[in-house]
Amino acid sequence: MIPLDLVLGASRDDGTGGAQRLAKGARAEPNRFFRFSSSFANTEGAALADITTRNGNVPPSAVANRTATLLSKLARPSVFYVRLLNPGHTKFELVESFFRNVVDPVVDQMGMTRIEIGTDKSDYAFINVGIFESLHFSSLAIVDVTGERPNCFIELGYALGNSNRVLVTAEEGTHLPFDQEMIPCHFWKPGDSAPESRKALIEFWEKNISRPPIVKAA
């Protein structure tokens, strides 16, 4: 979301401030509204200052040009990975191979970028905060439940309750507990070639990515 500080009021006419309030919040915490690509990281606040309308006194063409510049710096939509990360687990190597050789290339092909806690660079002091905040604000969660790890099920539940777009995957033969059996799941086969596995994942992605959330926001 890129809010402009225009005096428009709130859509519900409830006196909460509308665009001006959102613009003020964005200037205070830009990363809760949008993210820049790594080459422009930490310049979000300055970019927001550039698009201020100063109560409508800045020429519209100037605001439009600066907004276009801001939009050109946006990071690609993020995909949060929920997966087995314990290298001591018997299924780790299979899961690692699936994500590196299949999921990563497909995510890149779809014009998105990954967030994998424990693998990628993190700015969070505590890993649990990083997990849930990154998951909360991601455009999509890919949740692999191979190994049936409790933390993966917790994060799956959070993503579903938060109305994230979610794609569930698992190694063929994985037991899906409780109500998860009702959620579409892509079962991948370790013996398939990488091109075959990517093709199968893309087909599942395209078929299921537009499903409505289980819980719709009020």
The 10s digit of each residue's pLDDT in 89-132 is: 999 999 999 999 999 999 999 999 999 987 766 666 667 777 88
CB atoms under 10 Å from CB of 174, counted, come to 17
> Which pLDDT score, from 0 to 100, does residue 11 have?
61
**Given this model, what pLDDT does residue 207 score?**
96
Residue 23: exposure state from Cβ atoms within 10 A (0-12, 13-18, ≥19):
buried
Task: Please report, for the chain, how many H helices and E strands are present, in that order.
Answer: 8, 5
**Below-50 pLDDT ranges, the chain:** none
- The 10s digit of each residue's pLDDT in 58-67 is 999 999 999 9
In this prediction, residue 100 carries a pLDDT of 97
Q: Counting beta carbons within 10 angstroms of the beta carbon of residue 84, is it exposed (0 to 12), middle (13 to 18) or buried (19 or more)?
A: buried
Residue 68 has a pLDDT of 95
| Coil/strand/helix, residue 200 | helix
pLDDT at 148: 94
Which pLDDT does position 155 carry in this prediction?
Answer: 94
Q: What is the model's pTM?
A: 0.76
What does the pLDDT read at residue 3? Answer: 86
First to last CA, the chain: 19
